[in-house]
């Protein structure tokens, strides 16, 4: 291990770095600085610098790829489609992960504000900041393609060297996606105002998931263009055109990467000033008054305003929400747009069966992200909060979820009543509301901390895709039961609605109590009360 480290810092590596305009001495100083900050827990929001999160993500992806491999072997896939499918899966996953990670490294430059006055070139700083992307590639590529590569030997017609071919192609694909992601942010920095880069960087993180949800429509649109008619008939001309496109793509990527190093540190100050416009004016909210009456007085109202405002302003929450939870909104919108015309009681399948489960999954993802924030060091402010008001504050944390679910079903109601009639619409809305509130009650139990007071955890974002894919199977089973069992009889739906409503009530109450206990424990732990208590018991 020491020999590898010495080789990386040797003369040959230094000459290579210098060839790209990177100062080797300052590069390794920055790498040591970032490593020290990660070990001290001050830079834990980047997946490539968090060993525990990276190992967990690698294990999850290895399990997922093993399941996909088993299905492919059972289907007796051919070697070429098998390899192409896994390369596509690798490209999609790395695009989703690395776009978010590159954006978090480049357009949230907290360290850059400290180092901007130092004699560090933009190329040196960006190279040090983005080096952790290579660690992600080195960890996740074997996890994704190791099992499929060696299992490929079981395919009929696979050559003896198939594992080396598969892994080589997988690493090449991952590195290509890495360069493309870095190049994309380089072009953004060249053409966009610096103060807009944070918002655009967050939006870019959601593009892979949104693209995957609309892939069918995009493929159909591509087919309508009939691209084969635009290509030359001569094979030599096609080969030349392909080579020209490849050279142009390489030039575009290289130019984008060069743009990162041009004046990156000069733009840091302007980037930090850009951000959300959640509004700085103080205004009275009618929803806040309702929350105060229903959920526990002014502490609940304070939590409702606090959570709602920081959802719009906090960098880490917005970044992870847009890249993981926001695509679920596209799925919900698609289900409602196509399903509201089909009455689920008519016997035919309606996509609206997915809506309550989509809303529930959205609540779970939001709850998983709520504990983490960019300004987690400001958690000391809650030490000033009297302990008796924590229960009301926990209830107010649940209130934004309840508000969103009520508004979502209220928006649906006029369309469903107009299309299906009042009886069927009311029954469907009651069932959907009860089911989604069960999810919300379970979700609030997952928060386990005062919102936005924990160090960001990249592990949660990295394992989002496997969890989402596994959740799809469970949702598919629940939707099948709804269609084939419950919605054959309005009486069965009414009975299930009553049962779900009771479950939602108890899940919400118990979830709020559990969150309040977790908040009290967090405050006691940070203030040292729990440690002194245990020392007294031991004595």
Please check whether residues 212 and 175 belong to one and the same domain. yes
Among residues 169, 150, 168, which one has the least CA distance to residue 160? 150
Question: What is the domain range of residue 190?
Answer: 2-273
User: DSSP code of 379?
Assistant: G
Residues 297 and 228 in one domain: no
Shared-domain flag, residues 234 and 362 = no
pLDDT digits (tens, 9 = 90+) for 441-453: 988 988 888 888 8
Task: List CB contacts of 28: < 8 A, sequence separation 6 or more.
Answer: 9
Which of 232, 252, 273 terminates a domain? The answer is 273
Contacts of 184 (CB under 8 A, 6+ apart): 99, 102, 204, 256
Mean pLDDT, residues 333-352: 77
Of 216, 248, 273, which marks where a domain is finished?
273
Task: Identify whether the C-beta of residue 354 lies closer than 8 Å to the C-beta of residue 464.
Answer: no
Over the stretch 271-283, which tens digit does the pLDDT of each residue have?
A: 555 555 544 455 5
Residue 444, class by beta-carbon neighbours within 10 Å (0-12 exposed, 13-18 middle, 19+ buried)?
Answer: buried
175 and 147, same structural domain?
yes
Q: Which two tokens stand for residue 151?
A: 């299992």
Rounded to 5°, the CA angle 313-317-319 comes to: 95
In the predicted model, is pLDDT for residue 113 greater than 90? Answer: no
Confirm if 205 and 100 have CB atoms less than 8 A apart. yes
- Domain closes at, from 273, 304, 326: 273
List, in sequence order, every beta strand (DSSP E) within 337-389: none
- Token pair of 98 as six digits: 């690395």
**In a shared domain, residues 448 and 406:** yes
* Together in a domain, 240 and 380: no
Q: How far is 79 from 72, CA to CA, in rounded Å?
A: 10
In a domain, 279, yes or no: no
Query: Are residue 183 and residue 220 in the same domain, yes or no?
Result: yes
| Global model pTM greater than 0.75 | no
Q: Is residue 278 part of a domain?
A: no
b/e burial code for range 178-205 (CB count within 10 A of at least 16 → b): bbbbbbbbbbbbeeeebeebbbbbbbbb
pLDDT at 348: 78
Q: What is the percent of the chain where pLDDT is above 70?
A: 72
How far apart, in whole angstroms, are the C-alpha atoms of residue 132 and residue 1? 18
In terms of domains, do 357 and 468 share one? Answer: yes
Residue 458 pLDDT more than 80? no
- Dump pLDDT digits (tens) for 232-271: 666 776 677 767 777 777 777 777 777 666 556 556 555 5
Q: What's the number of domains the chain is made of?
A: 2
CA geometry: angle at 455 spanning 203 and 510, to 5°? Answer: 95
Q: How far apart are CA 428 and CA 522, in angstroms?
A: 40
Torsion, Cα 364 463 327 290, to 10 degrees, reads 20
pLDDT at 539 over 50: no
The rounded mean pLDDT for the chain is: 77
Q: CA geometry: angle at 435 spanning 433 and 437, to 5°?
A: 65
**pLDDT for res 488:** 83
């Amino acid at each position: 291990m020491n020999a590898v480290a010495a080789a990386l810092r040797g003369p040959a590596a230094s000459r290579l770095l210098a060839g790209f305009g990177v100062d080797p001495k300052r590069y390794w100083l920055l790498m040591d600085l970032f490593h020290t900050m990660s070990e001290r827990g001050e830079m834990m929001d980047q997946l490539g610098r968090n060993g525990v999160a990276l190992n967990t993500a690698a294990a999850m992806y290895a399990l997922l790829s093993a399941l996909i491999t088993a299905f492919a072997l059972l289907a007796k896939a051919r070697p070429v489609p098998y390899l192409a499918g896994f390369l596509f899966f690798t490209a999609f996953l790395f695009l989703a992960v690395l776009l978010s990670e590159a954006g978090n490294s480049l357009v949230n430059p907290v360290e850059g504000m400290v180092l901007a006055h130092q004699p560090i070139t933009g190329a040196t700083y960006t190279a040090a900041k983005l080096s952790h992307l290579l660690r992600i590639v080195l960890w996740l590529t074997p996890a994704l393609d190791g099992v499929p590569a060696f299992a490929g030997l079981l395919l009929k017609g696979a050559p003896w060297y198939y594992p080396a071919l598969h892994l080589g192609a997988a690493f090449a694909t991952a590195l290509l996606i890495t360069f493309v992601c870095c190049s994309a942010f380089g072009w953004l920095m060249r053409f966009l105002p610096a103060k807009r880069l944070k918002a655009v960087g967050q939006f870019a993180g959601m593009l892979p998931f949104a693209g995957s949800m609309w892939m069918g429509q995009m493929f159909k649109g591509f087919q309508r263009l009939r691209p084969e008619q635009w290509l030359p008939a001569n094979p030599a001309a096609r080969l030349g055109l392909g080579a020209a496109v490849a050279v142009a793509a390489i030039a575009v990527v290289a130019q984008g990467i060069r743009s990162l190093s041009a004046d990156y540190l000069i733009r840091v100050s302007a980037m930090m000033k850009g951000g959300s416009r959640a509004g700085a004016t103080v205004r009275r909210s009618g929803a806040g008054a309702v929350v105060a009456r229903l959920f526990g007085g002014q502490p609940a109202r304070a939590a409702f305003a606090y959570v709602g405002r920081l959802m719009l302003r906090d960098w880490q929450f917005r970044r992870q929400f847009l890249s993981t939870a926001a695509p679920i909104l596209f799925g919900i919108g698609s289900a409602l747009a196509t399903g509201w015309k089909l009455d689920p009681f008519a016997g035919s399948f309606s996509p609206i069966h997915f809506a309550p489960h989509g809303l529930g999954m959205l609540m779970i993802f939001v709850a998983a992200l709520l504990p983490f924030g960019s300004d987690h060091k400001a958690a000391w402010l809650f030490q000033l909060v009297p302990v008796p008001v924590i229960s009301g504050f926990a209830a107010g944390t649940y209130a934004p979820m309840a508000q969103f679910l009520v508004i979502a079903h209220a928006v649906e109601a006029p369309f469903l009543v107009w299309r299906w009639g009042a009886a069927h619409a009311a029954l469907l809305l009651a069932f959907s509301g009860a089911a989604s509130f069960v999810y919300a009650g379970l979700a609030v139990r997952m928060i386990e901390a005062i919102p936005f007071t924990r160090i960001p955890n990249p592990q949660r974002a990295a394992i989002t895709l496997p969890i989402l894919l596994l959740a799809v199977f469970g949702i598919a089973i629940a939707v099948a039961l709804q269609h084939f069992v419950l919605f054959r009889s309005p009486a069965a739906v009414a009975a299930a609605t009553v049962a779900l409503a009771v479950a939602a009530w108890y899940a919400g109450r118990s979830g709020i109590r559990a969150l309040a206990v977790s908040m009290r424990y967090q405050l006691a732990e940070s203030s040292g009360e729990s440690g002194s208590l245990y020392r007294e018991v031991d004595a």
